[in-house]
Structure 1
Amino acid sequence: MLNIENLHASIGDTKILKGLSLQINAGEIHAIMGPNGAGKSTLGYVLGGRPGYEATEGSASFDGQDLLDMDPHARAAAGLFLGFQYPVEIPGVSNVQFLREAVNAQRTARGEATLSGGEFLKAAREKAALLKMDMDMMKRAVNVGFSGGEKKRNEMVQMGLIDPKLAILDETDSGLDIDALRTVGAGINTIMRKPDKAVLLITHYQRLLELVEPDFVHVLANGRIVKTGGPELALQLENEGYEAIAEAA
């Protein structure tokens, strides 16, 4: 599904990714861990097409398409979803209207019929209930006045409604209490753990991985993946930290 080969990327004159390679197949959940500044968020932004993050060498393909040659909206239409570490607030824009426009844009790109207001509200209630999110929050401006946990739940509702092929989730566990973490973990499993979908989960902590149980864990250091293993690698990192593994690599 996602094939990255020798990817180099920069922000301005600063080189961040330095020859990163990674392959993710349908049905797999991959976790990327690593120290601050290693390039984890940069990887997500480059794949999502965020302006200012430039791929300077290498390739990245998604379902056989050249991902780096696509505009951000085309990547989303192809089935890529990027969840942010800090979801932005959009004052004056109704959460319900925002999500309905996003969902219908995706459906139009896939050649599917758009949802009426009633059809969308029914789907939104189902996804909100799954993430234990009050429907009253759906009527408020996007993320305005939301707590950190509420913003992440809202983003998971958005992911469930859009129904992507590949979800890249950048530190979804950041700022979550124990109950919110469990809810988000259950949401990822329910929405994305399917044979035709995949997840790239960027995280610092093993606690989310206990809930999601990735197939592979990768350590990213100095702009490239230096070690890959199973879930037991996350436990090793929790106990030993990144320095020994990065130095050995």
Structure 2
Amino acid sequence: MSVLEIKDLHVTVETDQGIKPILRGVDLTINEGEIHAIMGPNGSGKSTLAYTIAGHPKYTVTGGTITLDGEDVLAMTVDERARAGLFLAMQYPVEIPGVSVSNFLRTAKTAIAGEAPAIRGWIKEVRDSMSNLRMDKSFAERNVNEGFSGGEKKRTEILQLELLKPRFAVLDETDSGLDVDALKIVSEGVNRAKATTGLGVLLITHYTRILRYIRPDFVHVFVAGRIAEQGGPELADRLEDEGYDRYVDTANVE
């Protein structure tokens, strides 16, 4: 069974005011097939955790470890992390002018698998995934995310997830900007990936609405760069009723 393990992770970022600590000792273990939801107020470090796992150069790890099946993730380049089975669905997917979705997907699959997929089977797989995500086939020839709506960008992220078949996916506010129909479609895609590949998921969100469709095994409350509390799905329901004030007040006292 694959395991993504984070131990005592400390991360800083350089700002105009100097070096600022963001993560202050994060411990988290995600097993294959598990869904972990991270919830917390703005500025608590949730996205910093996502980008640190992916290897964004803006963030500096000053302590702790991230391992994937015992291998040191922090020693890997970004592309090595992808080939090892890590995937990041970004909160704000970027546009890539001049690169079609179909070329992007096949290039990414080739880079991760080490060889180009067989054309006939690949085309069918792409079409089937696009159909499941209610994406018109014309999207394949459009430039990546160029002129896409928020919902279209998020569906394209999940299309990548389904086709690249990572071992662990970090979904950074995948629900932001989605209407109810798009939220259901995106959630179905994540659930399909989990069911077919045993995907482990780290789902970052502010709201419980996506958790109605992607049921977490564990919920973690993230405040001031660390996990303040953790529990089962019932914790998310309590957060919706009570908010984060009591955690924020405690963090301020500390």
Letter in 1 for 2:71: Q
CA contact (8 A) 2:223 2:247 kept: no
- In the alignment, which residue of structure 2 is the partner of 1:37? 43
Q: Aligned to 2:150, which of 129, 148, 151? A: 148
Q: Aligned to 2:117, which of 87, 96, 115? A: 115
How many corresponding residue pairs? 245
Distance in 2, matches of 1:223 and 1:234, equals: 19
Distance in 2, matches of 1:194 and 1:218, equals: 25
CA apart distance, 1:159? 0.7
- In the alignment, which residue of structure 2 is the partner of 1:240? 242
- In the alignment, which residue of structure 2 is the partner of 1:198? 200
**1:184 partnered with 2:190:** no
Farther-moved stretch of structure 1 (122-131 vs 172-181): 122-131
- In the alignment, which residue of structure 1 is the partner of 2:22? 16
CA apart distance, 1:243? 1.2
Letter in 2 for 1:119: G
CA apart distance, 1:114? 2.3
- In the alignment, which residue of structure 2 is the partner of 1:77? 83
Q: What TM-score does the superposition give when structure 1 sets the normalisation length?
A: 0.95
- In the alignment, which residue of structure 2 is the partner of 1:174? 176
CA contact (8 A) 1:76 1:106 kept: yes
Distance in 1, matches of 2:51 and 2:8, equals: 16
CA apart distance, 1:130? 1.3
Is the partner of 1:51 in helix, strand or coil? coil
Distance in 1, matches of 2:207 and 2:74, equals: 29
Structure 2 unaligned blocks of 5 or more: none
Q: Aligned to 1:87, which of 81, 88, 93? A: 93
Question: Identity rate of aligned residues, in percent?
Answer: 51
CA apart distance, 1:126? 0.9
**Hey, which bits of structure 1, 4+ residues long, moved more than 6 A?**
none
- In the alignment, which residue of structure 1 is the partner of 2:67? 61
Q: Aligned to 1:46, which of 43, 52, 55? A: 52
Q: Aligned to 1:161, which of 157, 160, 163? A: 163
Q: Aligned to 1:128, which of 103, 127, 130? A: 130
- In the alignment, which residue of structure 2 is the partner of 1:224? 226
Structure 1 vs Structure 2 CA RMSD: 1.2
Q: Aligned to 1:97, which of 90, 103, 118? A: 103
- In the alignment, which residue of structure 1 is the partner of 2:210? 208
Q: Deviations over 1:56-78 (max 9, x none)?
A: 10111111110111101000000
